[in-house]
Structure formats: structure tokens, C-alpha cells
Structure 1
Amino acid sequence: MKKDGRSRINWIFENFVTFLRKCTFRVLSVGPIPEHIAYIMDGNRRYAKKQNMIEGTGHRVGFLALMSMLKYCYEMGVRYVTIYAFSIDNFKRCPEEVQSLMDLMQEKIEGLMEEESIVNRYGVRVHFLGDLKLLSEPVRLAAERAMVVTANNSKAVLSICVAYNSTNEIVHAVEKACEEKWEEISLLNASGSGYGLIGLECIEKHERENLIKLIDIEKHMYVSVAPDPDILIRTSGETRLSNFLLWQSAYCYLYSTPVLWPEIGFRHLLWAILNFQRNHFYLEKKRKQL
């Protein structure tokens, strides 16, 4: 009886909290709601050290924090969420730590494919973005399966940046744009109606500056699956972008909170959105000046 009574109290409390959260979302919706929020999930290792936990536990607690943030975002109507899960630079850590993170990543990716997972509950399509060939084979295969399994989900999008940094993304996009343009020129020449020598001279004189356009590069960006972020949130008090979304974050609102990632909660997201709404007019004005 005591157990049943305690369970009922917990159920009532959880539903009351959910009701208050929905009321808060309703109030927030009076102002502009961000379409895309990006997260730099910083501080997992420091949290484990702070709590005297064994190595790796901080990342597991951090995953629970991520699930909460995703739930809040999707309940609020944020369509796109992008997270910085594993940088290319993280491969420089000791092999044991990298392997431990790869194992944890594989475990959590496989969990995303379960029927009761958050991505299926909210109809979320998952993208893994970055130089995926750098991942261990089990993680890469799990990521590819997750993208296939969630391909028909259409209510929201979760982009998980792994083996990623902006430098690599920009170089990749420029290379792909150049390859595409070269193939286009080669096909025209092969058909007999191409540029030829005179055409190439014409390009050099009149089209050299516009041969590769901005749109040619942007469509090959890893993060082209989502619009530019409206808010970029980083935990642990750091104010650096750490080579994350450098191309896409020129006019987004940057919010840094001193809490470590496993400590992030609803109030921090709420404060970030309120500040975004306060600065929205200024940010939109700057964006339109492009």
C-alpha cells in the first residue's frame, strides 16, 4: 500500500510538473520560438571528477541531460536540434578513453532505434554529421542504421555531430563544390558543347570570381540538413565555439551557462530562450543585412 501510495504521489507530481512546463511554453510562444537550437555539451568529465565518480560516468549522466533537453525542445516546438557529440580533436585523447566513448556512443545509438525511444516518441529524424569514416566500424554501422530507421520520421530533426569540426566541414564542402564544378565542365566538353579552350578563357576573364558560388559550398556542408541555428548553448562557462558551426553561427544568439552539462536543466533552456527573444529583433536585422 505504501509503495502504491508513493507511486501515485510521484505520478501526480510528474503530471503537475508537465502541466506547469506546458503553461510556460504557452507563455513563451507569445514571442518568437527558435526553430533550431545547437548545444556544445561541455563538462561531462569535470562533473564526474566533481562528484568523485569513476571515469566515464559523467558522459552517462550527460546522456540523461541530453534526453531531457531534447524532450523540452520538441515539446516547445523547436524543430531542429544539433549537438556536438564528438570532435575530431577528441581522437587525440588517450586510446582507452576514446574506445570507452565509442562503446558508449554505440550503446546509445542503438537505444535510439528502440520503439519507445525519444526519437520515435516525438517523430524525430536522426542525422549523423561529420567525417564518419573516422569512427570505429561498429559505431559507424550503428549510426548508418539509425539514419535509415528514422528516415521516415518528419516532425523534428536531431543532428548529431561526430568526428566533426567546422574546419573539416568547410574544407569538405569546398572540395565537393570544386569536384562538382569540374565534372560539370568535363561533361560539357565531352558533349561537344562545352567550354573548350575559348570557353575556359571566357571563364578566366568574366566568370572566375563566380565560378564557385556560395550556394555551391553551402549545399555540401554537413549541417545543410538544417537551417542556421537560432541559439547556440554551451555549458561549463566556456565562451569558445571550439570549432563548432563556425560557418552557420554568424548571426545566432550565443548563450553560455556556468553549469556543467550533466547539471543543465529546464531553467537554463528557459533563460536562453528568453534572452534570444529579447535580442531577436537585433539578430534578424543583422541577418537581413547580408
Structure 2
Amino acid sequence: MRLALLAAAVLAAVPCAHAASIFFPEMPPTDRSDSRSCGFTDPERLFLLGSGEYQRELPVAEPPRGVVQVGTAPWTALVGLRTAEGPLAWLCGGALVSERVVLTAAHCAEAGSAHGSLAVRLGEHDLATDTDGATQEFAVQSVRIHPGFQQPAQRDDLALLLLDRPATVTRRVRPVCLPRQGEPLPADTLLVAAAFDLSGELSGAQPTATASGGRLARHSASVAPLRVCREQFEGLPHLGFIFPQGLMESSEVCVVRSQDAQCSHDSGGPLVTAGPGPSRLVGLRLLSGCQQQQPEVALRLDNYVDFIKTTTAEMLEEAKQTSV
């Protein structure tokens, strides 16, 4: 069983926001072309094939396994590390929740920022090519780690990244909606995951990362009772370090991948509701595997919404004061 334990490596809905908020896009309005709306997709009639080539039309109604329609997950972010010694290395995934803020796993942000400057890319579909033509790349102006996060544990494994400028909302780049604070997440809730297959080392003198599956993969999943993940991972050697109090309903969610899911390792990658209506961000991937229908653990975000909004306001105010 192949598991992505990036945290162990570190060891050595509804509204996106409320109508009065100026920090997050609003919902409503319901106009998909409105930059204030979140969680909508407006996919292009452009498909990324398994060969890495782009095709305008498909002979079938639904894209087959290994084919991704461009623009179906416009909030998906790549979080990387830029150093003077080498090129940009992509370490983790993330989710765009406003034009200035990306959420990712704290262990990714902490390990990366300790060794260089963090960067974010939006609108990417294939890391192996530069033919996408619509990506947006940003420096990270500031990082805020949840105060409850303490390595090597993965409890409160959440970080906010403030981009150096606002993202431009397009068909390939758009924020996802936040859930309501304390929103229920019952078993069998349908979800969608979008991720790149990122693997590498986040510990040591210099974190490294590779994209062994450089194309964006999108698959369906569903919420499972937390006991399913407890049973799956209870024998894992590092589990006691990662979750010393065990998995908790308030901060973790157990997710089971669909049978046709491609293997992808992408800590911090988004898990969103499958609809109907605008997509809401319910989790960030933490602990995953590659077997079909294998459960994975994600950070459950509905109990962090107030923290996200308050912290975003503080970061924007600090950035404003710095620029004066």
C-alpha cells in the first residue's frame, strides 16, 4: 500500500462569505461571469488527453479516465518553493478561496517557507508543458499558520497564503466557496477532488518535489464514517505522531475515493462538494493512498471558517500598513 505521508516527512454550502464581507467572493450573485461569485465552473470545450495533447472536442459525451476538461476545477492551486539554488519545485496543492488567499496544509507552508520563498500557480493543467497559456503565478506575500499546529502532529494543519496581488478571475481561475461555520458533513456526502501527483521530501536541508503525474486529475469521492479511516490507518507506524489524540470528528473527515480515481499525492489539495449549486470547500487532503476505494484523511474545514475570515482580515490590514 502506497501512502502519501508528507507530514511524516516534515517530522525530521453555500456562502463563500457573507454579503457584507470584502475579503471573499459572495454567493449570490449567481452570474458565473461575475468575479464576485465563487464555486462556479464554466469549463472550456478543451480537453487535456493522457498523451499531454489538447483536443477541442471529444467523440464521447463524458471525458474518459485520464482526460481532464479544462476549467472544471478553477480553484485548484499549486504551492511551490523558489530558491536561489534551483528552479521552482511544486510541493503541495491548495485552494483559492478569494482573489488574494490560498489555503493549504500547514506542514507544506512551514517546510517550504523555511527554505526559500513560497510561490503559487493557478490555472495549471499540465506541469509537463508550457502550452496551457493561461496560468497565473504569484509570490506569497505572507503566511499565517494555524496557532494550534505543531509538528509532527497534523492537527490544525492549516495555513493561509496571501498572494502578492489579486488573482484575475477567468474560466480557468476562480475561488471556491467556503462552507458555513460548523456545517454538517454527513456520511455519503458526494465530493470531488482535483490534484496533481506531487511527491518529494519536505524535510532535510532542501525540500524537493517531483510531479510524477504532471497532469491535473479529477475524481469523485464520498464522505465515510471516521471509523473507516481509523480502521484503515490504525497500524500505520507514524500515525501516533501525526494524530496523537486519534482522528477527531471536529477536525478530520474520512473520504473514500471512487473506483475510477487516478493515483494522486497532493497534500493540501481541495475536496469540494459535488453539487448541485456552487462548490464548497469542505476539506484539504492530508493522508491518502493509491488503492481503489481506499479511504483518505482530510482536514475538515467547517470549524475553521471563522479563523480563516478573521486571519484574512488581519493579513490584508498588515499588507496595507506595510505598503503605506
Whether the TM-score (by the shorter chain) exceeds 0.5 is no
TM-score interval, normalised by the smaller of the two chains:
under 0.3
Which one has the bigger helix percentage?
1
Greater Rg by CA: 1
The alignment's TM-score, normalised by the length of structure 2, stands at 0.23
More strand by share: 2
Q: TM-score scaled by structure 1?
A: 0.25
